[in-house]
Amino acid sequence: MARTAQDVIDDLRDVSRTSGGIGPSNFRDQAETAVNTTGSRSRIVELPVDTVHRILTGRSNPFRVAVPAYEQFSSDGTDANTETFNLNHDLIQCPNTQDVVVYIGGSYYGSADAVDYANGTIDVTDPGSNNNVHVFYMPGETATLEVYKATPSSSASANEELYSRPLNLLNQTKQAEQPEYFELNQSALQPFLASDMRLNVYVKAPYEVRFEDPAGDGATPDNMLLHVPVERGASTVAGLKSLIKSDMGSR
């Protein structure tokens, strides 16, 4: 006998799930990440899921989000020289994470020695010389962040927007007081992703966003917040992807 939609829903209810989150380290290790094209809407994350996932919704399940800009500099030829680096984009104070994270080569440096928000500069002291200086900092310029779920298909109905907000506001909002969260109440299936579906993240920003430095030094944006609250299922559910795809196409 062919499986019905109700059979799929019944199996979905029976799947054991554990609460957790998907964050930047998951994206680096398990997803296909990409550097955005500045000024254009760009997919920076494509994360395939291998079991049933449900995105948790409402204020009690906050989506913690703050996305830094990236720039690379080089230290001069003098050991232990304190240098001032001019950032190309508006530097702001973020109440949710570190404003600036610096790596010298592959070594974590932490925050800058000094930060001048008015002039958009930072001071860094390289104990060595002629090293890459990787800087991840919180920008205030107008930008957008979007989260989608998708099935591998060229059809427009195979994608659905789950979240879209101005990133410049997210980087400045006190999320401990005003949490961001998903509102997925258009259908019972809207919060769900089936195995072989994708969780995709897009940005449109005038600055560069990346999950690791381009030189291969191992510098990472430790001040990035991109924590999606989810329940991970212990198994797959036959027929769920087709049912979710039909559900997405109905809106």
Which CATH number is 113's domain given?
Answer: 2.60.40.3410
Determine the Cα–Cα distance for residues 115 and 121; give it in Å rounded to an integer.
Answer: 6
Region 167-196 average pLDDT: 96
State whether 83 and 195 are in the same domain.
no
Proportion of the chain in helix, strand, coil states, percent, rounded to 5: 15, 35, 50
Task: Identify the residue with better confidence: 9 or 220.
Answer: 220
State whether 171 and 238 are in the same domain.
yes
Classify the C-alpha dihedral 160-164-21-6 as positive or negative. negative
State residue 1's pLDDT score: 53
Final residue belonging to a domain, choices 137, 166, 197: 137
State whether 146 and 55 are in the same domain.
yes
Region 168-191 average pLDDT: 96
State residue 8's pLDDT score: 82
State whether 87 and 202 are in the same domain.
no
Share of the chain above pLDDT 90, in %: 86
Task: Identify the residue with better confidence: 91 or 155.
Answer: 91
Region 134-155 average pLDDT: 92
Give the Cβ contact number of residue 170 at 10 Å: 21
Final residue belonging to a domain, choices 137, 167, 183: 137
CATH number at residue 38: 2.60.120.1170
* Whether the predicted pLDDT of 154 surpasses 60: no
Are residues 224 and 96 in contact, defined by beta-carbon separation less than 8 angstroms?
Answer: no
Q: Which residues pair with 108 in a beta bridge?
A: 103
CA angle 210, 119, 140 (to 5 degrees): 45
pLDDT band at 211 (very low <50, low <70, confident <90, very high): very high
State residue 158's pLDDT score: 84
pLDDT band at 122 (very low <50, low <70, confident <90, very high): very high
State residue 10's pLDDT score: 82
Task: Identify the residue with better confidence: 130 or 10.
Answer: 130
State residue 7's pLDDT score: 83
Task: Give 139's DSSP letter.
Answer: B
What SS3 state is found at 117? Answer: coil
State whether 164 and 209 are in the same domain.
yes
pLDDT band at 129 (very low <50, low <70, confident <90, very high): very high
- Total number of domains constituting the chain: 2
State whether 149 and 223 are in the same domain.
yes
Kindly provide the residue ranges of all beta strands, DSSP E only, lying in 32-153, ordered along the sequence. 32-33, 42-48, 53-55, 64-66, 69-74, 81-86, 100-104, 107-110, 114-116, 121-126, 132-137, 144-150
* Whether the predicted pLDDT of 156 surpasses 70: no
Region 164-185 average pLDDT: 97
Region 169-187 average pLDDT: 97
State whether 146 and 133 are in the same domain.
no
Final residue belonging to a domain, choices 137, 163, 188: 137
State whether 10 and 36 are in the same domain.
yes
State whether 201 and 225 are in the same domain.
yes
State whether 58 and 163 are in the same domain.
yes
Element (H, E) at 161: strand 159-166
Determine the Cα–Cα distance for residues 178 and 72; give it in Å rounded to an integer.
Answer: 33
**Which residues form the domain of 108?**
69-137
State whether 56 and 166 are in the same domain.
yes
Tokens of 146: 């979007």
Lowest mean pLDDT among 4-13, 63-72, 160-169, 213-222: 4-13
Region 220-232 average pLDDT: 97
Region 156-171 average pLDDT: 91
pLDDT band at 152 (very low <50, low <70, confident <90, very high): confident
Share of the chain above pLDDT 70, in %: 97
State whether 12 and 89 are in the same domain.
no
Q: Which residues pair with 126 in a beta bridge?
A: 81
